[in-house]
Structure 1
Amino acid sequence: MRLLPLLASLMLSGWAEAAPRKPAPSAAPGPATGGSGLCPAPATWGAGAELGALLPPEPPAGSRDRLEGRVPVGRDAELPVRVEADRLSGTPGVDSVAEGSAILSRGPITLRADRIGYKPPEDLAQADGGVIITREGNVFRGKSLSLKLGRYEGEFVEPSYFFARTQAGGSAARFEFLGENRGRATDATYSSCPPADQDWVMRSDRVTLDFAANEGVAEGAVLRFMGVPILAAPRLSFPLTEARKSGWLPPNINLDSKSGLDVAVPYYWNIAPDRDLTFTPRAYSRRGAGATAEYRYLTPSDRGTLEATALPGDQVAGRDRWMLFLRHDGGLDPRPPVFRKDESALLDYRFTMQRVSDDAYWKDFPRSLLPTLTPRLLPTSFQAEHRRAADWGLTTVYARVQRYQVLQEADLSSRIVAPYRREPQVGLRQVGAAQGFEWRWETEANRFTHEDRSLVAGNRVHLLGSLARPFRPLGVSGWTVTPRLTLNSASYNLDDPLANGRSSASRTLPTASLDSAWVFEREASYFGRAFLQTLEPRLLYVRTPYRRQDQLPNFDSAANDFNITSIFAESSFSGIDRVSDANQLTAGVTSRFLDPATGAEALRLGVVQRVLFSDQRVTPDGNPITQRLSDVLLLGSTSLVPRWWLDGNLQYSTQNDRVQRQVLGVRYSPGPLRTINAAYRFTRDATDQLEVGWQWPLNAPGREHAQILLDRERDAAERGEPIGLSRFGTGRSGAGCAGAWYTVGNLKYSRRDDRLTDAIVGFEYDSGCWIARIVAERLSTGRTEATTRLLLQLELVGLSRLGSNPLYVLRNNIPGYRPLRDEGASIGSLPLTQ
């Protein structure tokens, strides 16, 4: 447990300026949590700044003794030393004594005692009676302090300590100063609970600190929770600064319905400043034993991750299971941007690959794959691009190779069609502007193949180009008219003949459009509030001639979703292979109500509809659109009512006189740790879903008052005044430690299927110095299949989190969710070495 040295780390800070810490190289990754992603550097354990303040830096050349003798020299060397006391006495050059509420301060350091004396011949400072040292909110108390300033040798008797960053502290029988870079604490404790009721406490017989070697060693360390030892080791080694250190990380424990109990114990190996490896042996109660290894590297020009998971002889599936993930990002110009003559003149490249052993892997181990909306499509791709900027625009040359591993289902109704492979894709793109004109064009060559041999394969070369000339009339603000010409041309050379017997084909389609937008503003007053109201109409006319395209292959085109963005697009399709014919006008208007002082949006209302002047014959389903008026899009959002947020959009069919699609959302959040969300999503003949999410206290009405008391205590600590309201007070009531229960959750219910699809339900208990979380998660992996997982976590505030981590699940599924404690005040995951 890395915060073990905090019990002694700032004992000396009342006399010594903070030692300058060597910053971690920007290229160095932090420790990993046995799985994937970068974990914060060890500074997140809360030890960074405090530990760096233990011992002084080397004095600069030519420094002189100051104020009766040798004083620490550092960033505050030029600052004066101030001494206040009821009585001051002494002999110049022999000794000086301050008695009666004595205060010695220098820069951010303040030393208080009943008596403070200094003897220049011996270079000895002594403080007796109620010794208190404060620095940047950290407070240290003891009976007496004796220290030879120049040699940094001495001791602090029976010190207690409180660290502002972690809101925790403890006591020791003695702390010995053993030189400029070494120290030792005896019979030390550390906890964030009040002394009268310590639910958890870390004790150690002895802690030795060596800042020159960046190593601390704790002997006889025992962590107790509710009086029960939960971690013990005869010897623990830990880093003292933000630099990384090899060692074991806290175990991860998971429980799910398919694998049973999953226990993983990661080992972190700090190979070099720019490389590390996390090896995680794990055991499943139902599946057997396996392991994961994650290797990471990070240099000025390249970075990457290689992760491999193996589960030999899966006892449930009856076969070996594995997963391999590789990602590499790099560039051929390693210089920082400040040294590049042309920041965009670069060649960047990326390689990504993920492969698994079998089609059911995504169901059995859903959390081990990349976060994606398509977990059954695992990509392998290599892409590179070179960018060059000039006065007239940006030119990009790019290339890519892309293919997929498709995880299919035995049920034919659940099988999916994979996208086409691009083997390869090569293109040139340019975006520029000059003389009031704006242009964009690209040309690209692709080789398309597919694992399904019944689908057509072949080559395609296409050219896209657009030229626009925006007009902003002089003297008229908030009005823009933009005529635009667009060209879409494609040529095909196929492996097999089409239905018409030809193996090659081409087509070219021009498009002309005129886009006009206005913004009007006025001052308004509603409900007793002043607003700046806007009226923003927009008209877009598009003309594209008809070309028959049903006999051409379709490699990458799909119908655009009907929304506020796509309705103002020139085509109803994405991709290259399909271009919808158009003779249409899209009209919309939006009105916003803004706070005139802050510009914050209080209300937004909008409506959009498209008018067809002729039938649209190129459509996604092949059936011509003959109705002249499209569906109406209505949108709105508001935060006019305090603590309430409402948002929604609706697609209404004027022809059928019914709603085709709607999304409605509401959130009520009266304060921190209090939020309730509800959403309704409906798409005719496809989706009908209700969703509710929440984070809400069950018995915490008085915690705001407790926070006020805690804030007062922190202010008192910074002033060096006695602390008696929370951590060092008596009982739990002062710090809000009476215990508060919170409930959290997110439920998704499908009205169409009449079932609960995904669910998260849990509870959090905050005692004030420790937090317990229990969360159950149900994740659908099919129409009749789901994986249920139980997440248990114990967070010792100011020290560490043990067990599985539900915070990622809660953040990503509950809008407005907040952790019960600032994460910077907890350890997280840090290496231990036995």
Structure 2
Amino acid sequence: MMSVWLSRLRVAFVFLLLSLLTGAGTVYAYEPSGYGDQEGLRPAALAYGRTVRPGTVSSESLGLIAPGDHGGVDGPDPAPAPQIPVIPQVSPAPAPLSTSDDAAPVDLAADSLTHDEATRTITASGHVELIQAGRILRADEVSYNLETDTVVARGHVVLNEPSGDVHFAEEVELTDKMRTGFVKTLETRLAEGGRFTALTGERTRPDGPIVMQTASYTPCDCQEEGETPGWCLKADEVTYDRERNQIRYKNAKFELFGIPVLYTPYLAHPDGQIKRKSGFLTPGLNFDSELGTVVTPRYYWDIAPNRDLTVGAMLATEKAPVALAEYRHRFTDAEIRLDGSATYSSRTDSIAGRDVPQDEEFRGHLFANGRWDINQTWRAGTNIKITSDDQYLRQY
């Protein structure tokens, strides 16, 4: 018995220590911070939790599900409030919201509630909180139609998604367990960082993309009132597709500190949820006295979780183009990296104190790096560097 209590005390102490370290409800989990890097700390948001306040009404008391199907929200039992009649109109025989097996229960809490049996509509006002299918809705006033499963919320609306995204609005209309709906004056803060603003937003299928009109996106959190982000994208239409981890724009303008600098009729880029994805990388741009203007387009191929390939070209105005490639492969206890380039160009040799251009020929380089963790004590590695001539790397 003593060992059991000691074990429980150790668990409680660890939990308390994590809470003190995180401060704002965040714990840290080990996760690879990048390919070839050491393991690093990456924040992982805790699941949302709440304490049921006095006067809370469960879905069972509202007749939204059959008794015994749902135990209410996690937390302490609500304190009794006999002086406030919650819903005197509720019939003694509660009716289920749906007969399907996947019917999601609903928990509703508010300062005051009214129930219209004729329209099967519940109207809540004052610090309203509604929970259904992992989504949490807060507003000044909420009307919930039991027949159509439609929620209309007005005033300081906040909707927490299971994904961690948080939506702010003045008015929303939600259906299908709050998975679809229409929003006015939308602001969305993504779980991975970043922010949307839009005149309107709409989701037409459960967990589908959100289509926003007259919208903008920025990776800046911009906590201060009226703060201008370092950069943002504004567009006539913005589509946030979480299933594909993609953000798409129509008629987009790129702004730096509020000043438009670039326009494009269409643009798409990954959101911050994924760390790697096949596609074109941002091209490099450089100016060199010998090579001229240099542009380096590259394409990244995510072959597998432990393998990738990057191919590209170095395009210079004064020299022949150079093909580029980099391959990386990680095994259970080893990794290799191959980096190479190739071109067909001339070099300059010094003959009798004079620089003499030579005929064009194949030139290039190959670097090979490998590492093998034999055990916790021993490690073996290799580092091979080959070039066609001693001028190649200095030139390119």
Higher radius of gyration, 1 or 2:
1
**Counterparts in 2 of 1:657-672, with a 5 A limit?**
none
Match of 2:306 among 263, 274, 296: 274
Give CA deviations for 1:383-427 in whole Å, capped at 9, x if unaligned. xxxxxxxxxxxxxxxxxxxxxxxxxxxxxxxxxxxxxxxxxxxxx
Q: Which residue is equivalent to 2:188?
A: 161
Report if aligned partners of 1:266, 1:278 keep a CA contact under 8 Å in 2: yes
Asked if 1:88 corresponds to 2:113, the answer is yes
Separation of aligned partners in 1, 2:252 and 2:175: 30
Q: Which residue is equivalent to 1:206?
A: 237
Report if aligned partners of 1:101, 1:112 keep a CA contact under 8 Å in 2: yes
Gaps of 5+ in 1: 1-22, 31-36, 54-64, 71-75, 333-342, 366-834
Separation of aligned partners in 2, 1:271 and 1:67: 54
Separation of aligned partners in 1, 2:344 and 2:265: 32
Q: Which residue is equivalent to 1:119?
A: 145
Q: Which residue is equivalent to 1:176?
A: 202
Amino acid at match of 2:311: F
Report if aligned partners of 1:330, 1:349 keep a CA contact under 8 Å in 2: yes
Separation of aligned partners in 2, 1:327 and 1:244: 22
Report if aligned partners of 1:29, 1:274 keep a CA contact under 8 Å in 2: no
Distance of aligned partners of 1:198 and 1:314 in 2 relative to their CA distance in 1, 3 Å threshold: farther
Asked if 1:248 corresponds to 2:280, the answer is yes
Amino acid at match of 1:328: G
Separation of aligned partners in 2, 1:236 and 1:249: 12
Matched residue pairs, number? 302
**Counterparts in 2 of 1:505-584, with a 5 A limit?**
none
Distance of aligned partners of 1:327 and 1:231 in 2 relative to their CA distance in 1, 3 Å threshold: farther
The Cα shift of 1:182 comes to 0.9
Separation of aligned partners in 2, 1:83 and 1:151: 16
The Cα shift of 1:350 comes to 3.1
Amino acid at match of 2:206: E
The Cα shift of 1:134 comes to 6.1
Report if aligned partners of 2:31, 2:39 keep a CA contact under 8 Å in 1: no
The Cα shift of 1:145 comes to 1.3
Match of 2:367 among 325, 331, 337: 325
The Cα shift of 1:323 comes to 1.8
Match of 1:359 among 375, 385, 390: 390
The Cα shift of 1:77 comes to 6.6
Report if aligned partners of 2:185, 2:198 keep a CA contact under 8 Å in 1: yes
Separation of aligned partners in 2, 1:260 and 1:157: 51
The Cα shift of 1:195 comes to 5.7
Separation of aligned partners in 1, 2:61 and 2:305: 42
Q: Which residue is equivalent to 2:254?
A: 223
Separation of aligned partners in 2, 1:274 and 1:195: 44
The Cα shift of 1:257 comes to 4.6
Separation of aligned partners in 1, 2:325 and 2:37: 14
Separation of aligned partners in 2, 1:255 and 1:67: 72
Which protein has greater RCO, CA pairs closer than 8 Å, 6+ apart? 1
Percent identical residues: 23
Separation of aligned partners in 2, 1:308 and 1:249: 18
Amino acid at match of 1:142: A
Separation of aligned partners in 1, 2:307 and 2:179: 36
Amino acid at match of 1:325: F
Separation of aligned partners in 2, 1:277 and 1:247: 11
TM-score by length of 2: 0.59
Separation of aligned partners in 1, 2:166 and 2:271: 22
Distance of aligned partners of 1:312 and 1:258 in 2 relative to their CA distance in 1, 3 Å threshold: same
The Cα shift of 1:239 comes to 5.7
Separation of aligned partners in 2, 1:49 and 1:231: 36
Separation of aligned partners in 2, 1:364 and 1:67: 78
Report if aligned partners of 2:137, 2:159 keep a CA contact under 8 Å in 1: yes
Separation of aligned partners in 1, 2:249 and 2:345: 40
Q: Which residue is equivalent to 1:385?
A: none
The Cα shift of 1:161 comes to 3.1
Gaps of 5+ in 2: 1-28, 48-58, 66-71, 77-106, 349-356
Report if aligned partners of 2:339, 2:366 keep a CA contact under 8 Å in 1: yes
Separation of aligned partners in 2, 1:83 and 1:330: 59
The Cα shift of 1:236 comes to 2.1
Report if aligned partners of 2:169, 2:185 keep a CA contact under 8 Å in 1: yes
The Cα shift of 1:117 comes to 2.3
TM-score by length of 1: 0.31
Distance of aligned partners of 1:270 and 1:218 in 2 relative to their CA distance in 1, 3 Å threshold: farther
**Counterparts in 2 of 1:434-833, with a 5 A limit?**
none
2:389 partner SS = coil
Q: Which residue is equivalent to 1:310?
A: 342
Match of 2:217 among 172, 190, 194: 190
Report if aligned partners of 1:211, 1:240 keep a CA contact under 8 Å in 2: no
Amino acid at match of 2:170: K
Give CA deviations for 1:721-778 in whole Å, capped at 9, x if unaligned. xxxxxxxxxxxxxxxxxxxxxxxxxxxxxxxxxxxxxxxxxxxxxxxxxxxxxxxxxx
Give CA deviations for 1:158-182 in whole Å, capped at 9, x if unaligned. 202345864x534113222233331
